[in-house]
Amino acid sequence: MATNNILPFCETDTGTNLLSQADYSVSSDRTSGQKAGVASSKLNNKALRQAALIASQVAQYISDATGDDVLDNGDTSAILATMVQAWQKTAPTIQKFTSGSGTYTRPSPAPLYIKVRMVGAGGGGGGSGSLSGGSTGGTGGDTTFGTSLLIAAGGTGGVERAGQAGNGGAVTVNSPAVDVASTAGSFGNGAISAGGSSPSGGGGGTSPFGGAGGGGPGVGSSSNVTAIANSGSGGGGGGAANNSTQQGGSGGGSGGYIEAVIFSPSSSYSYSVGAAGTAGSAGNIGQAGGAGGSGLIIVEEFYQ
């Protein structure tokens, strides 16, 4: 713990060593300064007490905000540098995590609070094919912060069936985190049913970060069905060729979205970013679906 040498003065009021607040407020020596002659110890103690009280608490704030010592050693340059450091740190800073797992470490000086925005990974879009030829997209991975403190589950994959789209991921916000604007992920869109009209795939579910994969066209390339990385949105389903037995693939669901505030944050939190749900493969004369968007964590650190 940092040391603060700037201490209060005359902390003990015996009733005989200080002017009362009422007497001090009306004292002519307070307003005009002491006159020649014998000085009043009660007046001096009162004036020194008030000045030292404020000085000690300003120094304590500087020490707490920076983690540095505030020493009574005559080094004015060091104290000035520490003051500047404490009072300049006003704008929020941001850390972003886009893959894998690790540990978020709280900066020094410590922020008053952090805001965490995060999303689970999106489910992959289903592949299309003749009847049951295409495969289901993979489920997106969960994104976590603080192990079980914040959990944004991944969306499930879309299937090769008209209307059977992926589900959105659930969210969990536990104390001491405060939920601000969290929401479960959105469903993907169902594919167009078969019927000899080149059915299109269904689009993926969209997260607050956008970037969902669109449904694959009924004929040709399905290159537009992959969700944007780190969006948490679902991949689109593959489109199908012109065949009365075809069904387009359905879109994957988006991951759950969390926006929460943590006051007086701990020194560190473990985290994990959800991996994207895999794309469903193509069946007979069908098209593959698109992969979901991987998860994301954004931590904003707020100071005074």
Nearest alpha carbon to residue 186 among 111, 101, 123: 123
In angstroms, the CA 269 to CA 16 distance is: 53
Burial track 235-261 (b if 16+ CB lie within 10 A, e otherwise): bbbbbbbebeebbbbbbbbbbbbbbbb
What is the reported pTM? 0.72
Helix (H, G, I), strand (E, B) or coil at 300: strand
> How high is the pLDDT of residue 276?
98
Q: Side-chain half-sphere of 226: how many Cα atoms within 13 Å?
A: 12
What is the pLDDT, as a whole number, of residue 62? Answer: 87
Which pLDDT tens digit goes with each residue over 207-251?
999 999 988 876 555 556 899 999 999 999 888 766 556 678 899
Q: Residue 98 is encoded by which pair of tokens?
A: 């886009």
Question: What average pLDDT does the chain have?
Answer: 88
pLDDT tens for each residue of 65-105 = 788 899 999 999 999 988 887 776 556 789 999 999 999 99
pLDDT at 190: 80
- Under a CB-based contact definition with an 8 Å cutoff, are residues 298 and 222 in contact? no
Q: Based on the number of CB atoms within 10 Å of its own CB, is 135 exposed (0-12), middle (13-18) or buried (19 or more)?
A: buried
203 near 215, Cβ under 8 Å? yes
Structure tokens at 32: 């005009």
Domain boundaries, the chain: 21-88, 90-304
Give the pLDDT of residue 85.
Answer: 79
Question: Token pair 């536990």 is at which residue?
Answer: 174
pLDDT given at position 162: 60
> How confident is the model at residue 118, as a pLDDT?
98
Ranges in the chain, pLDDT < 50: none
